[in-house]
Structure 1
Amino acid sequence: MVTTTKHPVLSPRALNRATLDRQLLLRRSPLGVEDAVAHLLGLQAQNTKPPYYALAARLEGFRPEQLSTLMESRAVARIVTMRSTVHTHTARDAVALRRLVQPGAPDRELAVFVGRKGLDGVDLERLAARSRELVEERPHTPKQLREELLQEWPDADPLSLSVAARCILHLVQVTPRGLWGRGGQVALTTTDVWFGDAVPAETADLDETVLRYLGAFGPASVKDMQTWCGLTQLRAAFERLRPRLLVFQDERGTELFDLPDAPRPDEDTPAPPRFLPEFDNLLLSHADRTRVVTPENRSRSWKGNQAFRVFLLDGVLAGLWHLEETKERVTMAIEPFEAIDRRQREELLAEAERTLEVMGPQGVPYEIVFRAPER
Structure 2
Amino acid sequence: MTALSNRALNRALLGRQFLLARTDHTPLEAIGRLVALQAQEPNWPYVGLWSRIHGFTHSQLTTLLQDRKVVRSGLLRSTQHLAAADDFRRLRPLLQPVLDRTARSAYFARNSAGLDTASLVATGLELLAGAMTPRKELARRLAERHPGRDGRILAGEVELRAPLVHSPATGTWGSWGTRSAVSVTPAETWLGRPMAPVTAKDLIRRYLAAFGPAGTMDVQAWSGLTRPGSHR
Q: Is the TM value for this pair above 0.5?
A: yes
Distance across 1 between alignment mates of 2:215 and 2:146: 44
The answer to whether residue 128 in structure 2 is matched with residue 135 in structure 1 is yes
Instruction: Find the counterpart in structure 2 of residue 174 from structure 1.
Output: 167
Shift of 1:114: 7.3
Query: What letter corresponds to residue 151 of structure 1 in structure 2?
Result: E
| TM-score (ref. length: structure 2) | 0.91
Contact 1:122–1:153 (CA<8 Å) still a contact in 2? no
Richer in strand (by share): 1
Matched, 1:19 2:33: no
Identity within the alignment, %: 36
Task: Quote how far apart the aligned CAs of 1:69 are.
Answer: 0.7
Task: State the match for 2:148 in structure 1.
Answer: 155
Contact 1:37 1:90 in 2 (8 A): yes
- Structure with bigger helix share is 2
TM-score in terms of structure 1 length:
0.58
Q: In terms of Rg, which structure is larger?
A: 1
TM-superposed CA distance for 1:156, in Å, is 2.2
Change (3 A) 1:155 1:136: same
Q: Please say if 1:35 is aligned against 2:29.
A: yes
**Amino acid across the alignment from 1:225:** V
For 1:73 and 1:22, the matched residues in 2 are separated by 27
CA contact (8 A) 2:200 2:229 kept: no
> Of 183, 186, 207, which aligns to 1:187?
183
Do residues 225 (structure 1) and 219 (structure 2) align?
Answer: yes
| Cα distance, 1:121 vs structure 2 | 2.3
Q: In the comparison of the two structures, how many residue pairs are matched?
A: 228
Query: Cα distance, 1:175 vs. partner?
Result: 2.0
The answer (yes or no) to whether the contact 2:130–2:189 under 8 Å persists in 1 is no
1:350-365 pair list within 5 angstroms: none
Counterpart residue type for residue 155 of structure 1: G
Aligned residue type for 2:189: V
| Native 8 Å contact 1:150 1:158 kept in 2 | yes
Kept in 2, the 8 Å contact 1:75–1:90? The answer is yes
Residue equivalent to 2:3: 9
| Deviation string, structure 1 residues 2-61 (Cα, Å, up to 9, x no partner) | xxxxx6432222211010001000010111111110000011000111100000000111
The CA deviation string for residues 141-168 of structure 1, in whole angstroms up to 9 with x for no partner, is: 2222111101111122334312210111
1:115: how far off?
7.2
Aligned to 1:55: 49
State whether structure 2 residue 133 is matched by structure 1 residue 121: no
The residue that corresponds to 1:366 in the other structure is: none
- Please state how far the C-alpha of 1:236 moved relative to its aligned partner: 5.6
Gaps of at least 5 residues in structure 1 are 1-6, 238-375
1: CA distance between counterparts of 2:169 and 2:119? 30
Counterpart residue identity of residue 85, structure 2: A
Q: C-alpha separation between the residues in 1 aligned to 2:229 and 2:184? A: 35
Paired residue for 1:103, among 71, 94, 97?
97
Structure 2 stretches lacking a partner, 5+ long: none
